[in-house]
Amino acid sequence: MNNNQQKAAIRTNPWVLFSTDSLIDVSAQVICFHAAGCQPTGFVSWRRYFSKQVAVVPIVLPMHGSRLRECMPYSLQEIAGNFVATSLELFSRPTILFGHSMGAMIAYEVACLLEARGRLPLALVVSGAQSPDRREVVDRTIGLTDEEFLDVLRAYGSISEELLQNREFLDYYLPVARSDFALCERYKWRRQPALMLPIHTFNGVDDTHISKDGIEQWSSFSRICCMHHFFDGGHFYCDQSPEEVCARIEALIRMTLR
């Protein structure tokens, strides 16, 4: 695929939140997968914290943002498979895969598929997530009433009470959030070899939604190395200190490319 064809493919790719020619010219990129109940637009502000040589590429999942009317696939593996099958043109430059919470599981599955295709990223950054084989702390939300589900959301503290009381917002938001949380609840790791790339775990020191040994277990998923990074804050620590998080990711890029 030549440069013009690659640009055209990126511009028309529904998975990419914003498509510009700058994605062709950068030295490296960070492909970002968001948490359950969140939107890819949450990563847009990250662009200001990276150098001009690094592009931030938020991924739009089905049933989110511009793809709101699309049906959500049944599994995170299906999402990862569809993304890789239709987006290989994105991986022509050095790439960090970043995923937070639900997004970490998608990023991991994407990394496995890319390795099978010989398109290994520079590294996998898994944020706010236990290893794929540790599912005991996943929220059980399938079958909950709306009020019960809202209590689950309140426990994360990422949405204001004002919005949680706004019926117009909830009419739009609840179907999307429920679908995301159901994906996480249904996720079952399919045993496969450890990855031939570095894994970095990012977590908030006050995150009560995951366990320390569940974080450490990520070490068994890499044949290269696994390093653990902690930041001030809880489960959504990355919303509190985006500049620090982005600086750490760019340092990983520089360390890997040198």
SS3 content of the chain, % helix, strand, coil (to 5): 45, 15, 40
Give the three-state DSSP class for 118. coil
Number of residues assigned to the chain: 258
Q: How far apart are CA 56 and CA 59, in angstroms?
A: 10
Q: Read off the amino acid at residue 162.
A: E
Q: Read off the amino acid at residue 61.
A: L
Task: Give pLDDT, residue 21.
Answer: 45
Q: How far apart are CA 199 and CA 209, in angstroms?
A: 20
In Å, what is the CA distance from 34 to each residue of 9, 45, 102, 129?
Answer: 23, 14, 7, 12
For the chain, the structural domain boundaries read 3-133+189-257
Tell the residue number behind the tokens 């914290």, with chain if given.
49
What CATH architecture applies to the domain 3-133+189-257?
3-Layer(aba) Sandwich (3.40)
To the question of pTM greater than 0.75 for the whole model, the response is yes
Nearest to 60 by CA among 93, 103, 96, 97: 103
Contact predicate 26/93, CB 8 Å: yes
Task: Give the model confidence (pLDDT) of 132-190 as tens digits.
Answer: 999 877 889 999 999 999 999 998 887 889 998 999 999 999 999 999 999 999 999 99
Contact predicate 109/76, CB 8 Å: yes
Per-residue tens of pLDDT for the chain, all 258 residues? 555 555 555 667 899 987 554 566 788 999 999 999 999 999 999 999 999 999 999 999 999 989 999 999 999 999 999 999 999 989 989 999 999 999 999 999 999 999 999 999 999 999 999 999 998 778 899 999 999 999 999 988 878 899 989 999 999 999 999 999 999 999 999 999 999 999 999 999 999 999 999 999 999 999 999 999 999 999 999 999 999 999 999 999 998 887
